[in-house]
Amino acid sequence: MQNVYVVGAAQSEFGAFPDESYRSLFSSAFENAVESVDKNFDRTEVDEAFIGTLGVGGRQLGLSGPAVTEYVGLNGTPSTRVENACAASGVALRQAVTSIRAGVSDIAVAGGVEIMTDMSGEQTRYWLGVSGETEWERMAGTTFAGVYAQMASAHMDEYDTTREHLSRVAAKNHGNGSKNPHAHLGFNCSLEDAMEAATIADPLNLYDCCPTSDGASVAILASRETAEELTDSPVRITGSGQASGTVGLFQRPTITGIPATTKAAEQAYEEADVEAKDIDFAEVHDCFSIAELMAYEDLGFCEKGEAGPYIASGATEPDGERPVNLSGGLKSKGHPIGATGTGQCAEVFKQLRGEAGDRQVDGLELGLTHNVGGSGGAVAVHIYEEGWA
Amino acid sequence: MAAYISVPTWWQNLDSRYRLTIGECGECGTTKFPPEGACINCAAPGSALEPVEPEGTGEIVAHTVIEGGEPPEFSKLIDTEGSIGAVLVELDEGARVPGMLTDCDPHEFGRGDRVEATVRRIYEQEGVIRYGAKFRPSND
Amino acid sequence: MSAIESIGLYVPRYRITADTIGEAWNGFEARGVHEKRVAAGDEDAVTMAVEAAKDALAASSHGRDDIETLVLGTTTPPVEEGDIGVQVAEILGLDGSTEVAVHSQSTRAGTRALMTALRADTPGLVVAADCPLGDPDRAVDHAAGAGSVALIVGDAGAEVIETATYVSEYPGTRFRQRGSETTEKYDATAYERDAYTTVIGGAVEKLTESPKAIAPTAPDGSIPSRTASVADGAAVYQYADELGDTGAASPLFGLVSAWEDNASPVTVVGFGDGAGADAVTIEGLLPVEITRSETDISYAEYLRKRGHILSDGGDK
């Protein structure tokens, strides 16, 4: 499958910004992405834009794609909003990849934006609930944390996963996020603090749950020929995969993993002609600590049921054999729903080009991003390598 | 503000809301809740599903207790009962159903416990009270 | 229909004692009530009616497809307009041609429901379900409990020997204003006692057989004993001492108490403020007992469950 090049990628700050709008945050991410392009970039050359956003808060539900692309001067550019809950911009990325592979675009923009912190408590709880299966699961009182907590309860009962394993995700990701100037919760957190935090939805506690955040992210993609004019240090997407799963946990064949992850990853691995064991580092979707553990298994980084021992071995620490979530993950970096997918792409882009500052790990060659919508209704997986092909 | 489930949407599945009516696939025999849409096993179309009223008994296969952050339509329930047990129950007929625990302390039950269905108030929206099945500990 | 074929009942799990309420208020104000049941935040007259109905059906040789009449009696319908009888019928899965009626307006509604079902030619389900509420500082609330009783009427079982009814207006003894969640009393004790004994007496004296055992409406555990004076030393049965005021269901809980004691015949008397009384004499016994377990709650939990201290009055 034809390679597509990431010539620029960046995120805005993720956090709580009462004085920012979804447009101003998108603009911030877009300009950061433009700045990350090595050579001169003319935004009027963008052929197509795909913007992921859930529209939390009910703001600009209609035409939110054009609303942000016009704002940054992409006048008249075909612009489409992508919705797949938290997988929105991961899927937007795939749409941009597909557009270039199809020869429809030479330059395509994929991005996402979300504002989540400006609503009342009641509104926030309402909007957090709508990523789940609304008619039945939500009517069982299952909050978003509740669905993942149910998966955790099953995973911990069926395998040797412990409370400590869950908290290791938080401690690791906060350690990484503390070195990320764009992180929402960029502070360190000890394993003990993570284990003793207040319960949110048993067995998940406060430190097992990512925050709600404001933020935006953008990736600028190009075909091979156009990329040569724009970048000195190319990062190419060698594999793209997407899959769907049931929206509700109750109709799914398994409750201790996300089948759509495995399916999307298989497709990406095949396109990239690699296997799970070849992946050097990854940005995975740790909306809840259990989600990162299940991702290790579903992506093939370890055997089914072995995620607990795997993280305990230190394998996914920055100095481990396969660092995961060097950006701080959703837990520390933040999770503005529409912006997370391309935000993950931005981290991989930086790491492969040696531009990740204090978070930089040397010698990384093959990266993976994993972006999940809801509890697994949609998943997008991408694989990246550095250099021309 | 509550999730907008319109009254007609709620009404469309009253037999499943009240009596947990499930669908049995005429092609492969797999049961599914609610009885609509493609078979979750063999993807045979929804028209192949035969409605079946189950016994209402089953086993908890996933369990969590919500102490806060609940969907706003359940704020009053948290106020009156203190916490919500949200479970996935595998009915004896095979289909899995999401539901709330009721008539018990949700902390004292978990995976593997047997439950039976009972009808309780789910929530009220725009003046219309929605009733539906919840699960309480079973004696068997 | 002329007989009661089976009986079912339901009481909520939560229980509070008179002592606990008394400690909060410098004294417990409902006479003869030692403890009572409290509906959970997701229960109401509809859910309790369904529970008792299922219990009665389970004890019956009739299946739900045989039931052609459904009559509910309650003073606390969850909506003021909107046929909750139809809702209960739908929840139970009764056929669409079922004759459905709801009696309300006073605690006589349970026996009204029974009288209505007895007049039908077809097997029927009678359900009295109630969870009255008063202002927390008033005796009405101190007494107020919750529960439901269901009867299946047919042509075989415990025989209904005779019935009688009597009405006479005694305004304002006990009432709930439109739009109000709470029941009030005029609180002139002699007047209220006069209403109770005179109107119950008016129904009882029309019976050909004076009752040996009587199960009257029991708004508390004390006033029912006054019926002994109008029913010539009859044994008085009630469950208010343990369940509190179960409203329209209370005379049927009195029947439960009588049957637990193997008393037959029993005259069930539903009294409703307004006032009116229905007397139904039943001969024969059916096995019945209250087996629901209990969980004790504190006064603070009681106030929360009843919605008294929620900013929007709770979900009741």
How confident is the model over B21-46, as a mean pLDDT? 95
Average pLDDT of span A25-39: 97
Q: Do A246 and B68 touch (CB under 8 A)?
A: no
If you average pLDDT over every residue of chain B, what do you get? 93
Across residues C233-239, what is the average pLDDT? 95
* Beta-sheet pairing, A204-205 with A199-201: antiparallel
Answer whether A touches C (≥3 Cβ pairs < 8 Å). Answer: no
CB contact under 8 A, C50 and B122: no
C-alpha A88/C-alpha A263 separation (Å) is: 18
Instruction: Write the CB contacts of A322 (distance below 8 Å, at least 6 apart in sequence).
Output: A279, A280, A281, A282, A301, A315, A316
pLDDT at position B3: 61
Catalytic residue (one of A155, A174, A285, A335): A335
The residue ranking higher by pLDDT, A349 or C189, is A349
The token pair that represents A61 in the structure block: 């539900």
Over the stretch C205-231, which tens digit does the pLDDT of each residue have? 999 999 999 999 999 999 999 998 888
β pairing state of B128-137 and B114-125: antiparallel
Report the complex ipTM: 0.94
Beta-sheet strand order (sheet of C295-296): C35-38, C14-17, C295-296
pLDDT per residue as tens digits for the range C185-209? 988 899 999 999 999 999 999 999 9
Spell out the domain ranges in chain B: 7-137
Average pLDDT over every residue of A300-323: 98
Alpha carbon of B119: minimum distance to chain C alpha carbons (Å)? 6
Per CATH, the number for B7-137 is 2.40.50.840
To the question of domain C160-283 being in CATH 3.40.47.10, the answer is yes
CB B32 within 8 A of CB B49: yes
Q: Kindly state the average pLDDT of the residues A359-388.
A: 97
Please report the DSSP string for A51-103 in residue order: EE---GGGTT-SSHHHHHHHHTT-TT--EEEE-BTBTHHHHHHHHHHHHHHTT
In this complex, do A123 and B1 lie within 8 Å of one another by their Cβ atoms?
A: yes
Reply yes or no on whether the pLDDT at B71 is more than 90.
no
Residue A2 or residue C253, greater confidence = C253
- C315 has pLDDT over 50: no
The mean per-residue pLDDT over the stretch C277-283 comes to 98
Contacts of C277 (CB under 8 A, 6+ apart): C108, C165, C166, C167, C199, C200, C202, C203, C204, C269, C270, C271
- Give contacts of A251 with chain B, Cβ < 8 Å: 32-33, 40, 96
pTM (two decimals):
0.91
Cα distance between residue C200 and residue C231, in whole Å: 9
pLDDT tens-digit series, residues B5-15: 889 889 999 99
Structural domains in chain A, CATH included, are 4-119+211-386 (3.40.47.10)
Q: Check: CB of residue A105 under 8 Å from CB of residue A48.
A: yes
Q: State what percent of residues in chain C have pLDDT above 70.
A: 98
Percentage of residues in chain A with pLDDT exceeding 90? 91
User: Any residues with CB less than 8 A from the CB of A16 and at least 6 apart, and which?
Assistant: A117, A184, A213, A214
| pLDDT of residue A71 exceeding 80 | yes
pLDDT (average), residues A49-55? 96
Cα A133 to Cα A130: distance, rounded to the nearest angstrom: 7
Cβ distance of B33 and A250 shorter than 8 Å: yes
Chain A residues touching residue B105 (CB < 8 angstroms): none
Amino acid at site A181? P
| Three-state DSSP state, A6 | strand
Judged by CB atoms closer than 8 Å, whether chains meet at C314 and B120 is answered as no
Report, as an integer, the average pLDDT of B39-60: 95
Residue A183 has pLDDT above 50, yes or no: yes
pLDDT of residue C313 exceeding 60:
no
Residue C310 pLDDT: 72
Confidence (pLDDT) at C171: 93
Asked whether residue B2 carries a pLDDT value surpassing 70, the answer given is no
- Whether A210 sits among the annotated catalytic residues: the reply is no
Of B32, B61, B71, the CB nearest to A154: B61
DSSP secondary structure, chain C, as one string: --EEEEEEEE--SEEEEHHHHHHHHTS--STT--EEEE--TT--HHHHHHHHHHHHHHTSS--GGG--EEEEE-S--SSSSS-HHHHHHHHHT--TT-EEEEE-SSTTHHHHHHHHHHTSSS-EEEEEEE-----TTSHHHHHB--EEEEEEEESSSEEEEEEEEEE---TTSEE--TT-SS-EE---HHHHHHHHHHHHHHHHTTSSS--SEEEE--SSSSGGGGGGGTTTT-EE---HHHH-B-GGGHHHHHHHHHHHTT--SEEEEEEETTTEEEEEEEES----------EE--HHHHHHHTTTTSTT-TT-
As a whole number, the mean pLDDT across chain C is 94
Q: Span C55-59, mean pLDDT?
A: 96
In tens, the pLDDT along A223-265 reads 999 999 999 999 999 999 999 999 999 999 999 999 999 999 9
User: Taking 50 as the threshold, does the pLDDT of residue C316 lie above it?
Assistant: no
What letter represents residue C148's amino acid?
A: S
Task: Name A214's Cβ contacts closer than 8 Å, sequence gap at least 6.
Answer: A14, A15, A16, A17, A20, A25, A114, A115, A116, A117, A118, A336
Any residues with CB less than 8 A from the CB of C2 and at least 6 apart, and which?
Answer: C118, C155, C159, C160
Measured between alpha carbons, how far is residue A113 from residues A59, A209, C56 in Å?
Answer: 12, 20, 58
The pLDDT assigned to B67 comes to 86
Query: What fold, for C3-159+291-305?
Result: Peroxisomal Thiolase; Chain A, domain 1 (3.40.47)
Q: Which chains touch C (3 or more CB pairs under 8 A)?
A: B
- Tell which of A133, A212, A250, A290 to mutate to test the B interface (max B CBs under 10 Å): A250
With a cut of 80, say whether residue A1 has pLDDT above it: no
Give the domain ranges of chain C.
Answer: 3-159+291-305, 160-283
**In the predicted model, what is the mean pLDDT of residues B110-133?**
95
What pLDDT is recorded for position B140? 67
The three-state secondary structure class of A161 is: coil
Q: What pLDDT is attached to residue B6?
A: 87
The residue with tokens 């050579």 is A39
A324 and A292 in contact (C-beta within 8 Å)? Answer: yes
The answer to which of A47-51, A54-58, B54-58, C27-31 has the lowest mean pLDDT is A54-58
